[in-house]
Amino acid sequence: MSLAQTKPEHELSTGARPIGATTEDSAAANVQQMFDTIAPTYDRANHLLSAGLDRSWWTRTARVFRPVLQRPESVVLDLCCGTGDMTMALYRHRPAAPEAAPILAVDFSHQMLARGAEKFAPHNIIPIEADALHLPIADNSVDLVTSAFGFRNLANYEAGLAELHRILRPGGQIGILDCNQPEGLTGALYNLYFKTILPRLGGLISGTPAAYRYLPASVERFPRPPRMLQLIREAGFTQAHWTSYTLGTAGLYQATKKA
């Protein structure tokens, strides 16, 4: 029996694979096009479908990194920033000092980033259109990388972690906030909502049902916390841990690049 027949998908997968995508390049192109398409309705759909929990998750995550955010010289990069709400939650903890370094907000969807850029314009935040797997950022130059609900969409998780490891300074931190598939009764209720109700509602709001069928499929495929923590450690990080949010339906991965 082959490995592919004995292991569940979330243990095999090394990256997102939207339906029809057979290679990393086609997966990335598909994801980029999908977010360009849903960008105009993304914020509305997000707040509605998460019943406003998205805001509390961004706020809670930003609070965790307050010590590093408070240092004016800290270089902070919000990866897969999309329309920018996680970035804005981080920004609220930045000092007002004129010498404070700008937050770098990265996304490869032009349409998502354009909406983020409108929110960033009055603030010390620089939008950068770039692929998370090929960041235009120097080695060992960043103190904190966050990513909210974006990392799961990368075409190769190991390559994504390697890229984060490359740009972080020794002692730099990652904060990856993403959806999770809970177990037990919560998992059953979650599946009922996430796999039947959410795709219909999301499809209605966005006019792009495929994007909201991809969402539960991508969470199903995303490694569970023990496997994801293993990947993080294998990428060279230490102090890796996961904090469950809202009954395990989401959670925050934190880790530090070895000094």
Ligand X SMILES: C[S@@+](CC[C@H](N)C(=O)[O-])C[C@H]1O[C@@H](n2cnc3c(N)ncnc32)[C@H](O)[C@@H]1O
CB atoms within 10 A of CB 32: 18
The stretch near ligand X (CB under 6 A) out of 74-82, 188-196, 232-240, 247-255 is: 74-82
Taking CB under 6 A as the rule, does residue 62 contact ligand X?
Answer: no
Dihedral sign from CA coordinates of 89, 103, 253, 157: positive
Taking CB under 6 A as the rule, does residue 104 contact ligand X?
Answer: no
Among 65, 108, 242, 253, binds ligand X (CB under 6 A): 108
CB atoms within 10 A of CB 52: 10
What string of DSSP letters covers 66-90? Answer: HHHHTSTT--EEEET-TTSHHHHHH
CB of 49 to ligand X, least distance (A): 11
Taking CB under 6 A as the rule, does residue 21 contact ligand X?
Answer: no
User: Quick one: 148 or 235, whose CB is closer to ligand X?
Assistant: 148
Residues 6+ apart with CB under 8 A from 198: 49, 212, 215, 216
- Using DSSP's 3-state secondary structure scheme, residue 149 falls into coil
CB atoms within 10 A of CB 231: 17
The stretch near ligand X (CB under 6 A) out of 146-154, 198-206, 227-235, 236-244 is: 146-154
Taking CB under 6 A as the rule, does residue 145 contact ligand X?
Answer: no
Among 38, 69, 80, 219, binds ligand X (CB under 6 A): 80
Contacts with ligand X by CB under 6 A lie at 28, 31, 35, 46, 80-82, 85-86, 107-109, 112, 131-133, 148-150, 153-154
